[in-house]
Amino acid sequence: ADDGEWWKSSVVYQVYPRSFADSDGDGIGDLAGLISRLDHLARLGVDVVWLSPVYPSPQVDNGYDISDYQGIDPVFGDLATFDRLVAELHSRGMKLVIDIVVNHTSDQHPWFQESRSAKDNPKRDWYWWREEPTNWRSFFSGPTWTRDEATGEYYLHLFAPAQPDLNWENPDVRRAVAEMMRWWLDRGVDGFRMDVINLVSKDPALPKALDDGDGLGDGSAFYTSGPRIHQYLAELRARVLEGHTGEVLFIGEMPGVTIEHAALFTDPARAEVDLVFQFEHVSLGHQGDKFLAGPLAPGELVDCLERWQRGLADVGWNSSYLGNHDQPRMVSRFGDDSAEHRVASAKALATVLLLQRGTPFIYQGDELGMTNSVWARPDDFRDVESLNYWDANGHRDPVGVLQGLRAMGRDNARTPMQWDSGRHAGFTTGAPWLPANPNHVEINAAAQYGDPGSVFEHYRGLIALRHTSRAISHGTHRQVPQEDPAPYCFVREAGTERVEVWANLSSRPTTVRLESGQRRTLAPWESGFTLGG
CA-to-CA distance for 144 and 128, rounded, in angstroms?
11
Can you say how many angstroms the Cα of residue 362 is from the centroid of all Cα atoms in its chain?
Answer: 9
DSSP string, 338-357: STTTHHHHHHHHHHHHHHSS
The smaller minimum CB distance to ligand TEU, of residues 326 and 366, is found at: 326
The smaller minimum CB distance to ligand TEU, of residues 196 and 425, is found at: 196
The smaller minimum CB distance to ligand TEU, of residues 327 and 469, is found at: 327
In eight-state DSSP terms, residue 214 is S
What dihedral angle (degrees, nearest 10) is formed by the CA atoms of 323, 325, 326, 331? 30
* Least distance (Å) between residue 423 CB and ligand TEU: 28
**Single-letter amino acid, residue 373:** S
How many CB atoms neighbour CB 495 within 10 A? 10
Could you say which of 253, 272, 336, 366 is catalytic? 253
Task: Give the residue closest to ligand TEU by C-beta.
Answer: 64
Query: What is residue 291's three-state secondary structure?
Result: helix
SS3 content of the chain, % helix, strand, coil (to 5): 35, 15, 50
H/E element holding 259?
A: helix 259-265
The smaller minimum CB distance to ligand TEU, of residues 30 and 65, is found at: 65
* Least distance (Å) between residue 99 CB and ligand TEU: 8
Is residue 253 among the annotated active site residues? Answer: yes
CA-to-CA distance for 420 and 58, rounded, in angstroms?
31
The smaller minimum CB distance to ligand TEU, of residues 274 and 385, is found at: 385
With vertex at residue 384, the alpha carbon angle to CA 382 and CA 387, rounded to the nearest 5 degrees, is 75
Q: Spell out where 179-223 has E strands.
A: 191-194
The smaller minimum CB distance to ligand TEU, of residues 46 and 196, is found at: 196
Of 186, 108, 119, 126, which is closest to residue 153 (Cα–Cα)?
119
Q: Determine contact, residues 452/477, Cβ cutoff 8 Å.
A: no
* Least distance (Å) between residue 372 CB and ligand TEU: 15
Could you say which of 30, 65, 99, 195 is catalytic? 195
* Least distance (Å) between residue 40 CB and ligand TEU: 23
* Least distance (Å) between residue 506 CB and ligand TEU: 27
How many CB atoms neighbour CB 143 within 10 A? 18
Of 118, 109, 121, which is closest to residue 166 (Cα–Cα)?
109
CA-to-CA distance for 63 and 389, rounded, in angstroms?
20
* Least distance (Å) between residue 254 CB and ligand TEU: 9
* Least distance (Å) between residue 411 CB and ligand TEU: 11
List of residues contacting ligand TEU (CB under 6 A): 61, 64, 101, 139, 159, 195-196, 255, 290, 325-326, 385
Residues designated catalytic: 195, 253
